[in-house]
Amino acid sequence: MSRVCELTGKGPMTGNNVSHANNKTRRRFLPNLNDVTLISDRLGQSYSLRISAAALRSVDHRGGLDAFLAKAKDAELSPRALKIKRDLAKADAAAPALASA
């Protein structure tokens, strides 16, 4: 399983463990990833994603999964999140056509 957030693209970083004697050894800083189920209001469907705790706070702050994906850059999103974003765009394009008919 990849250690990359599906919404923000946040992944492992590298750095040093520094001892009291100032010895340096390489280490990895892993993102705090959680398996969550988020609900899309416009699609009426739930999606299981592996996202970081920071991304979960951002989703709540922006007002839900739909609003987060509307502002998110495509380069940061995983293929699964991009598919959800495309499905939202299709639903938005179809909604005015149904209202005018």
Number of domains in the chain: 1
Domain span at residue 44? 13-93
**CB-hemisphere CA count at 13 Å for 4?**
11
CATH (domain of 66): 2.30.170.40
What pTM, to 2 d.p., does this model score? 0.85
Whether pLDDT at 3 is above 70: yes
- Flag whether 5 is in a domain: no
pLDDT in tens, 24-71: 999 999 999 999 999 999 999 999 999 999 999 999 999 999 999 999
Report whether pLDDT(1) > 90. no
CA-CA distance, 21 to 79, in Å (whole number)?
45
Q: Is residue 101 part of a domain?
A: no
Do the domain assignments include residue 25?
yes
Instruction: Identify whether 31 is part of a domain.
Output: yes
In-domain check, residue 78: yes
